[in-house]
Amino acid sequence: MRAVGLHPDVIVVTSRLMQTTCTLVRSGGEAFCIDSPVLPDELEILPAIAEQAQFAVVGLLATHADWDHLLAAYAFPEAALGMAESSTRVLRERPGAAQRALRLFDDQLYIERPRPLGIGEVQSLPTPGRCDIGESELELYETGGHTPDGMAIRVPWAGILVCGDHLSPVEIPMLSAGGSLEAYLATLDRLEPLVAEATAVVPGHGEPLDGTRALAILDEDRAYLNHLRDHGPQAPLPLARRSREQKRIHAENAARVT
């Protein structure tokens, strides 16, 4: 696991598995943990990282309802979870789905966890909207397309945008079950002006990006999705994301679109 300080009030932790990111944000005497690393030892050490940096975590935020973004409850079991209204609706309509997906993942990789995933109290947050933290506010923006739910989170005093499973340098746009190509394109349109103003962008998977590189990835993702809509399986993948796994994701995308 790698921890990088992007700002005195922002630390990004990247998991060894799937390069999943977790962002710690501080204002005044309060801190939030956005999303989560994946492995049990990473979750175990996360509170120590926060404490050493003097980030007093009082709440959790998740960019969307996929299981790999909900695991901070293991690290901070007393903290309430905030999610977009669309994400709380997914949890309500699919009770236990995240826990079942986590168990399947853990069984495949022989991962043992100290206890079943307990999501606990969930606060529904409007998007677009704002969320109080200490002496400041986080800005919340609707996302979708990868899944039917989600939000991006802007840290305005730090110039940092946390955008969930979008703008990844390691993964092409993924249309999960319930996702939508047109909704994904609409999300990219909403994110574009935020990315243009950002000092740094934190994707759900992959290293934090400067604004220029994030804009380049946004353009690549938009072009890929437009080609996918027009050409299906024959759509070209972004040049730096053509691994066997990305080709598998592309094949699933094409099947959903066609």
- What is the value of pTM for the model shown? 0.95
Helix (H, G, I), strand (E, B) or coil at 139: strand
**Which range marks the domain in which residue 201 is found?**
2-257
Residue pLDDT, tens place only, 34-83 = 999 999 999 999 999 999 999 999 999 999 999 999 999 999 999 999 99
CATH number of the domain within which 201 lies: 3.60.15.10
Residues in Cβ contact with 210 at an 8 Å cutoff, skipping those fewer than 6 apart: 199, 200, 201
Predicted local confidence at residue 4, as pLDDT: 94
Split into its structural domains, the chain has a count of 1
User: Is residue 258 over pLDDT 90?
Assistant: no
Residue pLDDT, tens place only, 116-159 = 999 877 999 999 999 999 989 999 999 999 999 999 999 999 99
Q: List the one residue out of 35, 11, 8 whose CA is nearest residue 24.
A: 11
> Length of the chain in residues, anyone?
258
- As beta bridge partners, residue 210 has 200
